Amino acid sequence: MESSTRISVAIRMRPILKEEVDQGQTNSKVFIDSAEKAIVVSSIDQKQQKKFLFDSVFDEITPQNELFNSTQIPELLKKVVQGFNATIFAYGQTGSGKTYTMEGYDYNDLKPNIKVKPNQENEKQGVVPRAIKALFEEIKSMPSTTEYTVYCTYLQVYQEKIYDLLNPAQLKPGSPGLKMRWSKHDEFYVENLYVNACYNATEVLTHFHAGLKNKIMASHNLNSASSRSHCILSLNIEGVDVEGGGIISSKLQLVDLAGSERASLTGNEGLALKESIEINKSLFTLRQVITTLAGSREGESAFVPYRDSKLTSLLKQSIGGNSFCLMIACLCPCDQFYEENLSTLAYATKASCIANIPVKNLDPKSKLVNELRKEIKGLQNELKEAFEQIGMLTELVNLDKTQTLKMRGLEKPLLATAQGQRAKTTKIIEQIPGRIHSAMAVPRPVVPQQEPFSLSLEMLSENLHDSVKMIKELMGSNKKLKEIINELSSIKKGQDIEIAQLHAENQTLLEKLENVENEPVIVAKLQKEKQELQNRVVALERENKQAPVIFPIKEKKTEWAWKSKRTIVRAGNRYIDSPGQIIDKDHYQKYHSVRPSTRVRVEKSAESTRQHKSELSPDNKVKEDALSALSVLYSKTRVKKYGTFF
């Protein structure tokens, strides 16, 4: 939000002139207090004193350069180059030193004596030539990417008519003067003024000096070279950022007002008197404007009579408007001008209460450029993110090509599309600043002043159209890229799942591999066990061969002892089956076939038979266990050898 700033006020008192000394003029009432930045004024009877405080005060001996620097004009010029408007105007009664302060040249026969060459230093040079030089110095210190052009106009308001000091044809007697128009930028401008494009201080000074020679000057009792008009030198500064395309525009107004005159003192008659009346009328309006603005509170909208004079119309934005403003109020040190000095101090005090709200000028083109820049930046960021994601996914795709066979068919066209889009979008983005700049880089001929920017509307709309088209293209590209990213993301998800499965399989295979590596040890161990077991079996079989034969009961085949785990044992003439039932010999003779596998050990008595049976059973069990272990071992060995584990 813009902040308000008061009009800065400086007071300067000129020295008493030789002719005034000759007349016996003295100063006994108005004093400069430099330490307190105050003007002390005694009452007529000199019994009372009144103090006026200002931003800066300068006594009779203050040189021009000190005034220039102490009033902070260099800082003001910095603001101008940055895009703010500024006005410096000299105010005071006739002969108080306004022209001396602003120009600093001696006048001979009502014409300025411009002895020094424009680029030479001159101690007496006033605010205007110093400001012109300092402005270009400031421009030089700016980045070289911004190209500045200063457009110079110089006019005078004479008897409520506006004349172009740079157009001699327009200054001829009987000329109706130039028209003033109201611009949509809330300010007045003068139609058909000569506008001169300048690229250095010398060029501007040349125009300034030419204009000075055309000023209407006259001689009267109080000033041998008195300005009969209000003169306004306007410097319109335009800086074009050749890289970014932004435009800075601002205006510096340097104003030398005509001084208020008391007819009784000037001795003017005829035309000179008419001039005095007109000067006083316009200054009266200026004072009204100052009084109104100083009296109204901030934010209050009082009616300000700007339109009552050409001068106040042209200074609308300078006093109570959007400019920085410096008022240099000049005082005469002679007691005879006591009242005029008091009046000057009173209005200077009022002016110092006026708040201006300086606004950085952004022309419509710059606004558009700034908006486009923002959008482009946003789109560039989005694209950057998209490129990063594509890069990441491309890396993933390249990681395991054997696993991406499925997506290969999709990958190539996708990446090609992505790269194509990327190239296309980058090209579009690269073209934007150039296109904007080329659209704006139109030649600027010296033409009569027109309403600012009115000529470029067509160009502006064309530019806008182009920019909107470009943004649409960018958005389209961005959408396609997003789609590609989504597709690649889903592919990546599927790939992640496959990778997880492969990890699991890999783990299992590693375990198997570990087992295979340990195989010789296990096989050797198992073979040793096998050998022991075979030995054991052989021993057992040998033992069994010596044992009696067991005959299963044949007629009841379904109840075969071996099948039902019953064993018949012979004990002398008696036979005992496994549950302990005694069978006689005849009955036993009926059994006539023997199965080798049913041979068991036979003991002599039934008791010992029962006892042996319990001993024999573990042996059989051992045998069975040994055989089954051999079978498992055999199957395991096969598995390890041929890898058919599942």
Ligand X SMILES: Nc1ncnc2c1ncn2[C@@H]1O[C@H](COP(=O)(O)OP(=O)(O)OP(=O)(O)O)[C@@H](O)[C@H]1O
Question: Which tokens belong to 448?
Answer: 């009569």
Give the interface segment with ligand X, choosing from 97-105, 501-509, 574-582, 605-613 (CB under 6 A): 97-105
- Taking the C-alpha atoms of residue 279 and residue 590, their distance in angstroms, rounded to an integer, is 165
Q: Name the pairing type of β-strands 8-13 and 323-331.
A: parallel
Can you tell me whether residue 639 is helix, strand or coil?
A: helix
Q: Which residues contact 616 (CB under 8 A, 6 or more apart)?
A: 600, 601
For position 16 contacting ligand X by CB under 6 A, the verdict is no
Question: Which tokens belong to 646?
Answer: 């599942």
Residues contacting ligand X: total by CB under 6 A: 18
- Taking the C-alpha atoms of residue 261 and residue 328, their distance in angstroms, rounded to an integer, is 18
For position 189 contacting ligand X by CB under 6 A, the verdict is no
Q: Which is nearer to ligand X, 38 or 110 (CB)?
A: 110
Q: How far is the CB of 104 from ligand X (least distance, A)?
A: 9
Ligand-binding annotation for 92, yes or no, is yes
User: Is 485 exposed, middle or buried (CB count within 10 Å of its CB: 0-12, 13-18, 19+)?
Assistant: middle
Out of 29, 79, 98, 310, name the contact with ligand X by CB under 6 A: 98
Give the interface segment with ligand X, choosing from 96-104, 385-393, 425-433, 572-580 (CB under 6 A): 96-104
For position 125 contacting ligand X by CB under 6 A, the verdict is no
Ligand-binding annotation for 23, yes or no, is no
- Taking the C-alpha atoms of residue 86 and residue 281, their distance in angstroms, rounded to an integer, is 25
Ligand-binding annotation for 99, yes or no, is yes
Q: Which is nearer to ligand X, 221 or 404 (CB)?
A: 221
Q: Which is nearer to ligand X, 20 or 138 (CB)?
A: 20
Q: What are phi and psi of 149, to 5 degrees?
A: -135, 135
Q: Which is nearer to ligand X, 87 or 93 (CB)?
A: 93
Q: Which residues contact 510 (CB under 8 A, 6 or more apart)?
A: none
For position 92 contacting ligand X by CB under 6 A, the verdict is yes
Give the interface segment with ligand X, choosing from 94-102, 175-183, 526-534, 628-636 (CB under 6 A): 94-102
Out of 8, 87, 153, 223, name the contact with ligand X by CB under 6 A: 223
Chain centroid offset of residue 232 CA: 40
For position 129 contacting ligand X by CB under 6 A, the verdict is no
Question: Which tokens belong to 136?
Answer: 């270009």
Ligand-binding annotation for 259, yes or no, is no
Q: How far is the CB of 468 from ligand X (least distance, A)?
A: 55
For position 99 contacting ligand X by CB under 6 A, the verdict is yes
Q: How far is the CB of 295 from ligand X (least distance, A)?
A: 27
For position 266 contacting ligand X by CB under 6 A, the verdict is no
Q: Scanning residues 390 to 409, which ones bind ligand X (CB under 6 A)?
A: none
Q: How far is the CB of 108 from ligand X (least distance, A)?
A: 11
Give the interface segment with ligand X, choosing from 11-19, 419-427, 505-513, 551-559 (CB under 6 A): 11-19
- Taking the C-alpha atoms of residue 126 and residue 104, their distance in angstroms, rounded to an integer, is 4
DSSP-assigned letters across all residues of 387-440: HHHHHHHHHHHHH-GGGGHHHHHHHHHHHHHHHHHHHHHHHHHHHHHHHHHHHH
Give the interface segment with ligand X, choosing from 223-231, 513-521, 531-539, 574-582 (CB under 6 A): 223-231
Out of 5, 15, 359, 583, name the contact with ligand X by CB under 6 A: 15
Ligand-binding annotation for 267, yes or no, is no
Give the interface segment with ligand X, choosing from 95-103, 395-403, 477-485, 578-586 (CB under 6 A): 95-103
Ligand-binding annotation for 495, yes or no, is no
Give the interface segment with ligand X, choosing from 13-21, 39-47, 474-482, 536-544 (CB under 6 A): 13-21
Chain centroid offset of residue 176 CA: 52
Can you tell me whether residue 609 is helix, strand or coil?
A: helix
Ligand-binding annotation for 295, yes or no, is no
Q: Which is nearer to ligand X, 281 or 599 (CB)?
A: 281
For position 268 contacting ligand X by CB under 6 A, the verdict is no
Q: How far is the CB of 2 from ligand X (least distance, A)?
A: 34
Q: Which is nearer to ligand X, 98 or 365 (CB)?
A: 98
Out of 8, 167, 214, 226, name the contact with ligand X by CB under 6 A: 226
Q: How far is the CB of 332 from ligand X (least distance, A)?
A: 8
Q: Which residues contact 181 (CB under 8 A, 6 or more apart)?
A: 188, 189, 190, 191, 451
Cα separations in angstroms, 431 against 223, 373, 418, 437: 63, 13, 20, 10
Out of 95, 177, 320, 433, name the contact with ligand X by CB under 6 A: 95
Question: Which tokens belong to 186?
Answer: 């809330």
Residue 24: CB atoms within 10 A of its CB come to 7
> Can you say whether the dihedral through the CA atoms of 551, 555, 561, 566 is positive or negative?
negative
Q: Scanning residues 235 to 264, which ones bind ligand X (CB under 6 A)?
A: 258-259
Out of 100, 136, 158, 306, name the contact with ligand X by CB under 6 A: 100
DSSP-assigned letters across all residues of 464-528: HHHHHHHHHHHHHHHHHHHHHHHHHHHHHHHHHHHHHHHHHHHHHHHHHHHHHHHHHHHHHHHHH
For position 17 contacting ligand X by CB under 6 A, the verdict is yes
Q: Which is nearer to ligand X, 94 or 567 (CB)?
A: 94
For position 126 contacting ligand X by CB under 6 A, the verdict is no
Q: Which is nearer to ligand X, 146 or 227 (CB)?
A: 227
Amino acid at 388: E
For position 150 contacting ligand X by CB under 6 A, the verdict is no
Q: Scanning residues 410 to 429, which ones bind ligand X (CB under 6 A)?
A: none
- Taking the C-alpha atoms of residue 168 and residue 407, their distance in angstroms, rounded to an integer, is 82
DSSP-assigned letters across all residues of 225-244: EEE-SEEEEEEEEEEEETTT
Q: Scanning residues 317 to 376, which ones bind ligand X (CB under 6 A)?
A: 330
Out of 227, 341, 578, 609, name the contact with ligand X by CB under 6 A: 227
For position 552 contacting ligand X by CB under 6 A, the verdict is no
Ligand-binding annotation for 95, yes or no, is yes
Cα separations in angstroms, 488 against 260, 496, 519, 563: 82, 12, 46, 70
Q: How far is the CB of 77 from ligand X (least distance, A)?
A: 22
Of 302, 318, 298, nearest to 359 by C-alpha is 318
Residues that bind ligand X (CB under 6 A): 14-15, 17, 92, 94-100, 223, 225-227, 258-259, 330
Summarize the annotated binding site for ATP as residue ranges: 92-99
Summarize the annotated binding site as residue ranges: 92-99
